[in-house]
Chains A and B, each alone.
Chain A
Amino acid sequence: MHAAVIVFPGSNCDRDLAVAFEAAGARVSMVWHKDSSLPQGVDIVGIPGGFSFGDYLRCGAIAANSPICRSVAAHAERGGYALGVCNGFQVLTETGLLPGVLLRNAGLKYICQTVGLKVETSQSVYTEGYNAGDVIDIPIAHHDGNYFADDETIARLQGEGRVAFSYMNNPNGARADIAGILSENRRVLGMMPHPERAADAGHGGTDGQALFRALAGALVKA
C-alpha cells in the first residue's frame, strides 16, 4: 500500500498519520499542498488533522481549494481511497467529496478527550477489522466537530449504511451522533476522532490500529 499524506500550513497530525500508516505496513509519501499532483501509484490519500490555514474563513475551506486538493478530488473520482481525520474530514466536506459540514461544537468549547465510538458498519475497507456494534475508544480534539446536514442527507447516510462511526455520548451536538461517514462508493472516509492517536500501546490505547491494519490488508490485495 502506498499512502500519500497531505501537508498544509497548520497541519499538526500529518506525521502521526504517516506513522500509523507505516506501522500497518504502508509506504508513505508526504505531499505538500502546493504540489499539483499526487505521486504515481498512490492507493490512499490521508488528509490529516490540524488547523490548515489557521481555520480562516471556515475550517478546511482554504485547504479544499489548494492545488493538491484538485488532484485528491480527481483521485477520489477515479475510485481512489481517501481518509480524512478531524481537519481532514472538514476538508473533505468542503471539497464536496463528502456531504454535510462540521459546525462549531454546540457547547462552544474545544474538546480534547477519549470518547466511546460505536462502529456502525463493518462494510468498508476502513471498518472491516471491527464488528458492527463494537464500541471502541478513540481520542477527539476539536472545536468544530458538530456534524450537520439536512434531514434528507442524514436519512440517506443512515439508509445506505454510510455512517461509519457514531458517538456513544455525543460530545459536540453532531446530528444523529455522527462521528464519521463514508462516500457513496465507501472509499472515502471522513471522521472527527483520531484513530492514529490510538494506534500504539504508547498512546494509551490501540483501538484505532484495526482501521489501519484492515486498510493495509485490503489495499495490498487490491
Chain B
Amino acid sequence: MKNNEGQIMKATVHIMLKNGVLDPQGEAVRHALGALGFDSVQGVRQGKVIELDLDEGATEADVTAMCEKLLANTVIESYSVEMG
C-alpha cells in the first residue's frame, strides 16, 4: 500500500520460534507473570516484529527472500509477512 506521497511501502515481518523449540525467554516471562499473581498465564512465546520501509514496487516475494536470507533462521523460526 502506498502512503500519501506514493513513494514508500511498509512491510511488517513477524518472526516466532517454531513449535517444539525451547523459548527460555518466554518461559522466564511466564514465571515473572506468575510471580506477579497473573495465575491465568499458561504459556508465553516471545518473538520479533520487524518493520520495513520499502521503495514503491517492492513485492512480498522480495520480503520473503529477505526473511529466508537474513531476517529469520528457518531452522528454528517461522515468519509471516504483512504488506502495507
Chain A interface category by residue count: 20 to 34
Chain B interface category by residue count: 10 to 19
Q: In residues 18-61 of chain A, which contact B (Cβ within 8 Å)?
A: 57-58, 61
- Given the complex, which residues of A lie within 8 Å of B25, measured CB to CB? 104, 108
Q: In residues 38-74 of chain B, which contact A (Cβ within 8 Å)?
A: 69-71, 73
Does A101 lie within 8 Å of B75, measured CB to CB?
Answer: yes
A93 CA to B73 CA in the complex, in Å? 10
Q: Interface residues, chain B, CB within 8 Å of chain A?
A: 21-22, 24-25, 28, 69-71, 73, 75-76
Does B22 lie within 8 Å of A100, measured CB to CB?
Answer: no
Does A103 lie within 8 Å of B22, measured CB to CB?
Answer: yes
Does A148 lie within 8 Å of B21, measured CB to CB?
Answer: yes
- Given the complex, which residues of B lie within 8 Å of A121, measured CB to CB? none
Q: Which residue of A lies closest to B70 (CB)?
A: A65
Count how many pairs of residues, one from A and one from B, have CB atoms less than 8 Å apart in the complex: 37
- Given the complex, which residues of B lie within 8 Å of A94, measured CB to CB? 73
Does B73 lie within 8 Å of A103, measured CB to CB?
Answer: no
A108 CA to B73 CA in the complex, in Å? 20
Does A108 lie within 8 Å of B28, measured CB to CB?
Answer: yes
A101 CA to B25 CA in the complex, in Å? 16
Does B73 lie within 8 Å of A104, measured CB to CB?
Answer: no
Given the interface contacts A103-B22, A108-B24, does A61 sit within 8 Å of B70 by beta carbon?
yes
Closest Cβ of chain B to A209, distance in Å, is: 33
Of A57, A103, A105, the residue contacting B21 (CB under 8 A) is: A103
Does A106 lie within 8 Å of B71, measured CB to CB?
Answer: no
Does B69 lie within 8 Å of A173, measured CB to CB?
Answer: no
Does B75 lie within 8 Å of A100, measured CB to CB?
Answer: yes
Q: Which residue of B lies closest to A106 (CB)?
A: B24
Closest Cβ of chain A to B36, distance in Å, is: 18
A107 lies within 8 A of chain B by Cβ: yes
C-beta contact mask, A79-113 vs B, less than 8 Å → 1, else 0? 00000000000000110000111011111100000
Q: Which residue of B lies closest to A96 (CB)?
A: B75
